[in-house]
Amino acid sequence: MKYSHSQRRAGISALLCALLLGGGVWVQDLAADDDNSETGWIEIFSGKDLNGWTKKTGDWKIVGDVPLNPDNPKAFAPKPGTGVMVNGKGGRDTNIFTKKKHGDVQAHIEFTVPKGSNSGVYFQGRYEVQVFDSYGVKEAESSDCGGIYKRYNEKESYGFEGHAPRLNASLPPGEWQMFDVTFRAPRFDESGKKIEDAKFIKVVHNGKVIHENVTTTGPTRAAAFSDEKPLGPLMIQGDHGPVAYRNIRIKPIKLD
C-alpha cells in the first residue's frame, strides 16, 4: 500500500513520540517538530526568532552577524539581519531557557565570544559546559572553555569536582566555535531517589574530543536549580559577558 508524504511524516512522528515517551526521555509533543522527525533533531534556535525560549528573554536580540568592535575587542558590533542571537545590556543580560525540556540528549551548539568574555551552556539548567575566551591558554582548567564547571559548597565557600578539558581547542575571540555534546540524564527510582548521577558521555569542541564519560554528582556552580530531575531545560548563561549563539539543535535519545 502506498502512503502520501504527509501520511508518512505523520506516522514517523507518531512512532518517534511513542518510542521516546515510552523511554521516559521526552514529555512534550514532538509532532510539532515533524520537519525534523526523520532525523530526530529539533531546531531550538531557528535564527529568526526566540520562540523556542522562555518569554523572559531580557535584551537578547536577533542579528545577522557579530564581528568584534574595532574600537573595543571586548565587545561586538552587531549587524542587522537574522541567524544569530546575542545578549544585551553590555553582556549582563538574563540567562535564557529552552521551552522544551530534555533528558538524555545530543546537542549541537555554535557560539562566539569577544576578548575575555564568559558564558556557559547548562544541560537541564544544572550542569555547565563552560564558554570562555580561552584562546592561547596552555594548561586549561575547568573554568576554561569546554570545561565542566565546578560544583560549589555555599556553606564553606569552596569549589570542587570541576573537570578541565583534556586539551584546549579554543579559537581566537570573535571566531565561531562549536560544541557537540552527548549527555546522559541522572536516573531515579520509583520513589524519586537518585540512583545514578548525570554524565557527559562525550563533549567535542571544534571537532576535538575534550571529555568522555565524565560524571557530575550534582548541579554545577550558578545552576538555575539546586535539585536534580529526569528532565530540564537547556540554559544559556547571559549575565557574565557578551556572547552570541547560532545553530542550536538537540536530539532526544535513550542511553542505557
Q: What would the pLDDT profile of 129-173 be if each residue is shown by its tens digit?
A: 999 999 999 999 999 999 999 998 888 788 989 999 999 999 999
What's the pTM?
0.85
Q: Quick one: pLDDT band at residue 53, thresholds 50, 70, 90?
A: very high
Q: Please report the DSSP string for 75-114 in residue order.
A: EE--EEEEEEEE--GGG----EEEEEEESSEEEEEEEE--
Question: Phi and psi for 18 in degrees, rounded to 5?
Answer: -65, -45
Predicted local distance difference test score (pLDDT) of residue 37:
63
C-alpha cell at 119: 558564558
Cβ neighbours, 10 Å, residue 230: 18
Cα–Cα distances (Å) from 45 to 83, 91, 109, 151, 202, in that order, read 9, 19, 10, 28, 22
Q: 32 - beta bridge partners?
A: none
What's the average model confidence in pLDDT over 207-228?
97
Q: What is the pLDDT of residues 68-119, one digit of tens each?
A: 999 999 999 999 999 999 999 999 999 999 999 999 999 999 999 999 999 9
Burial pattern 132-144, b for ≥16 Cβ within 10 A else e, equals: bbbbeeeebbbbb
What's the average model confidence in pLDDT over 30-54?
77
Predicted local distance difference test score (pLDDT) of residue 36:
58
Q: What's domain 41-252's superfamily in CATH?
A: Exo-inulinase; domain 1 (2.60.120.560)
